[in-house]
Chains A and B, each alone.
Chain A
Amino acid sequence: MNGMKWLRLPGARPTPPAAVHPGDVLAEAEALHVRLGTREVLSGVDVMARAGEVLALVGPNGAGKSTLLSALAADLPTAAGLVRVHGRPAADWSAHELALRRAVLPQSATLSFPFAVEEVVRMGRAPWAGTALEDEDDPAVATAMAATETLDFAARPFSALSGGERARVALARVLAQRASLLLLDEPTAALDLRHQELVLRICRERALAGDAVVVVLHDLGLAAAYAHRVVILSAGRAVADGPPAEIFTDRLLSDVYRQPVEVFPHPRSGEVLITPRRGS
């Protein structure tokens, strides 16, 4: 794709990531258009992910959530507009430099060979090989596995795990990478109630520790409870961007999902609850 990348020597030192301060914009899409085949999946989206913040991307199926996440991960060519990662156009970073700055959890975790769970998590440390932070490998792996409750099956082959267990191992790998920008595509899809909460608590903790977390969610209740900011996507456009309590309204959600929706406060805690309005 990029001719310059070929000239780079394999052993060339990547630029180490600079220190991140709360509020720094770690990923940014500017008037982003993305075309997959002939279909324009994103048409003019502006989005910012800031350090210290959990940003949830929500919207109906096919709205472009995963595409936006992939674009922020620098996976997709942009038809127009710009994606910046850590302040620099995504295309200007090498694959290795990007790996030191952002970690990505794909929607489904697959593995061609039966590596043990701990080996899979350790793969997340690959970008740091040969750097000063290589010494953190063991603590990073151990912490990530403890946080995702995957230590119990550390020695089992990944292929022998259930869907939910695989999803948590994949998340552990992403956490072990210790990048300051986390891009998670539906991390809760395969998980039970307890682990859904666990994963989003981890997201909050990482944001609190100063990372930027972007997470695609289907469950609006989870988004309302854990995200600092939500972007609602509909048909390739961002139709709302703000704190969940402000932008989750009956009208907007009913409109976007083409399904009557009711938003109301929890009688005891006052948390935002969202339920579809079913025929009475």
Chain B
Amino acid sequence: MTVTDKGAAPGAKAPAHEAPPVGDLPARPRRGTPWLLTAAMTALLVLLTLTSAGLGAYDISPGDVLTSIAHRAGLGGSELSRVPESVLWNVRFPRIVLALLIGASLGCAGALMQGVFGNPLAEPGVIGVSSGAAVGAVAAISFGLNFLGNWTIPAFAFVTGLGTVLLVYAMSRSGGRTEVVTLILTGIAVNAFTGALIGLFIFFADTAAVNQITFWQLGSLSAATWPKVLAVLPCAALGLAVAPLYARKLDLLSLGERPARHLGVDVERLRIVLVLVIALLTAAAVSVSGIIGFVGLVIPHLLRMAAGPGHRFLLPGSALGGAVVLLAGDLAARTVAEPAELPLGVLTALFGSPFFFWLLRRTRRRQGGWA
């Protein structure tokens, strides 16, 4: 302090150059957006659930849907007559819950995978993890295995899905990074190989199993039942519960592996845990409904554009967004061509692949070519 400073009146402001005042940090960008998006998506989810429960071959009014839900929850209301009650609780609701679980799993798995690979184009469908999981599921179906009961197909899908993520991860990384080209080409190779394996299983399967597999492969929720919901639930719930715990560390991982380690992240452990979670979520999604692609690509992308790339919102947000999209997709799939039903996987691919194409072009432009 100089003499002149000492002479200053008490309470006078410190000279501006001394220490940068703390309050000078500019307002953090997009702080409110995550809440707004969460609220909007939740509202949409509720709306879609009610619509989806009411619409179909047998229409039920939203009022009746609410009455029935209230009755079952023990909040008054009354039971509907036998047919609508049964349609609602044995057909519509299992399907809705399944769509929510699978959509959430796909959205979250996509966001996680992009974070782990440090590459915005990573997605279970694109890089072949979904088809890897499908190999296990198809094997279980075609050999008629059910030694784990209801959970046989998910368990098989988990094991082969896990193997595939590990394989892709090991093959597409060099020097701690995953280049876009390497990742996509690895995906092509993996998809070709798993396609061949699935073909082999179909070749050896009997006619009934072939029909089952073919239909399942297109990606559909039409055979939803409560036991199927139960089959998916453990994988999906565990994966969705664990993923957000690693949000901060995933943020740090975007700096690269070494810088993340310099900031205290045990990168090896993080990688192993997250690869397991990705395999769990993918297995949950694939084992009942076949390969439903691009949800895990589109949703995290849109959310990143709207609310920034921080994983604390991105992971739960992508789960929520995935649930909304899949529920909407399933509603469309079963109503646009009534009484026939479009396969859901076909529908998501129809909208998702142009988006993927646009994303590829954009990434290429930003990098100034692939070379």
Determine whether the beta carbon of A113 is less than 8 Å from that of B120. yes
- Against A, the Cβ 8 Å flags (1 = close, 0 = not) of B220-263 are 00000000000000000000000000001001111110110111
Chain B residues in 8 Å Cβ range of A113: 115, 120, 254, 304, 309
Contact B264 A155 (CB under 8 A): no
B309 and A104 contact, CB distance less than 8 A: no
Closest chain B residue to A119, Cβ basis: B310
Least Cβ–Cβ distance between B20 and chain A, in angstroms: 4
Q: Which residue of A lies closest to B264 (CB)?
A: A99
The one of B263, B268, B304 that contacts A126, using a Cβ cutoff of 8 Å:
B263
A112 touches B120 (CB 8 A): yes
Q: Does A177 have its Cβ within 8 Å of any Cβ on chain B?
A: yes
Residues of B contacting A146 in the complex (Cβ-Cβ under 8 angstroms) = 20, 24
A120 to B22, CA, bound (A): 17
Interface residues on B, range: 35 or more
CB distance from A71 to the nearest CB of B (A): 13
Chain B residue contacts of A110, Cβ below 8 A:
177, 255-256
Interface presence of A253 (CB below 8 A): no
Instruction: List chain A residues, Cβ under 8 A from B57.
Output: none
Residue A30 at the chain B interface, CB threshold 8 Å:
no
Question: Residue-by-residue, is B4-30 near A (CB-CB < 8 Å gives 1, otherwise 0)?
Answer: 000000000000000111101111110
Closest to A102 in B: B262
Residue contact A126 to B252, C-beta cutoff 8 Å: yes
Query: Which segment of A31-39, A47-55, A134-142, A206-214 sits at the interface?
Result: A134-142
Q: Is B118 an interface residue (CB 8 A)?
A: yes
A190–B24 CA distance with the chains assembled, in angstroms = 27
For chains A and B in complex, what number of residue pairs have CB atoms within 8 angstroms?
109
Are the C-beta atoms of A73 and B262 separated by less than 8 Å? yes
Bound form: Cα–Cα A121–B281 in Å: 32
CB distance from B332 to the nearest CB of A (A): 31
Q: Is the CB of B308 within 8 A of A142?
A: no
> CB within 8 Å of A: which of B23-39?
24-29
B119 within 8 A of A: yes
Residues of B within 8 A of A126 (CB): 248, 252, 263-265
Q: How far is the CA of A103 from the CA of B255 in the complex (A)?
A: 14
Which of A17-25, A90-98, A238-246 is the contact stretch?
Answer: A90-98
Contacts of B206 in A (CB 8 A): none
Shortest Cβ-Cβ A-B pairs, 10 listed: A99-B264, A113-B309, A146-B20, A112-B118, A96-B264, A112-B254, A127-B264, A104-B262, A155-B29, A154-B26
